Amino acid sequence: MKTTALSPRRWIDACLQKALNALGGRQAPPTQPAPAPERLGAPPQVLGPLRLTLGTGCRVSDRITFSGRGAGDEVPELFVGRNVDIGWETTIAVGRRVTLGDNVRIAGRAVLAGYPGHPQDPAAWAADLPGANLPNGGTGVGDIVLEDEVWLSTGVVVGAGVRIGRGTVVAAGSVVTHDLPPMVLAGGIPARVIRPLAPNPSGHRL
């Protein structure tokens, strides 16, 4: 029997498209051609419309969810830089845009929550209405940026509208509700700076 081999890039595209078709979603064309990642677990679960750009040399583990649910007509966008690890059972929920810089490391069971999922009023969520009484114009949607070389340890939650500075490490189980500066160890709920991190001789921590 004759078989046709798919390149890794076409394999993930086909898997993503199949998942999207099954869910009634659509895959927007990427902003630039994304080269094949080096190592993939099972294809990530992709929910909703999402524009996805994946840099070279990324490793995406098993049981990952990428979801897109914007507040307007814009297609939510997840931009992943080069040489990024996304660990087991991590969820990235994109409201408008989530950016992961180069060399970012995300350990297992992290959640990047770029949209709230529900309004805060029970009558409104029971009626499946959009956000109310939430930040960012009532939508709760906010961009998330992990600058280059950020490391999120196991089980970290990052809220909407948060930017984490280059080279910063966030300790396990932390909830990041506000921006964090570059080159610090941060931790706790909510996450606060614990101590600065020394740069290595090349200029930054790797």
Q: For binding to ligand COA (CB under 6 A), which residues are involved?
A: 107, 153-154, 169, 171-174, 185, 187-188, 194
CA distance 82 to 99: 12
Give the separation between CA 114 and CA 158, rounded to whole angstroms: 8
* Closest separation in Å from C-beta 91 to ligand COA: 16
Annotated catalytic residues are: 118
Smallest separation, CB 190 to ligand COA (Å): 11
With contact defined as beta carbons under 8 Å apart, do 167 and 149 qualify?
A: yes
The residue among 36 and 197 lying less far from ligand COA, judged by its C-beta, is: 197
Query: Three-class SS of residue 141?
Result: coil
The strand pair at 192-196 and 184-187 is best described as: antiparallel
68 vs 187 by CB, closer to ligand COA: 187
19 vs 171 by CB, closer to ligand COA:
171
Least separation in angstroms between residue 88's CB and ligand COA is 10
The burial class, CB within 10 Å (0-12 / 13-18 / 19+), for 132 is middle
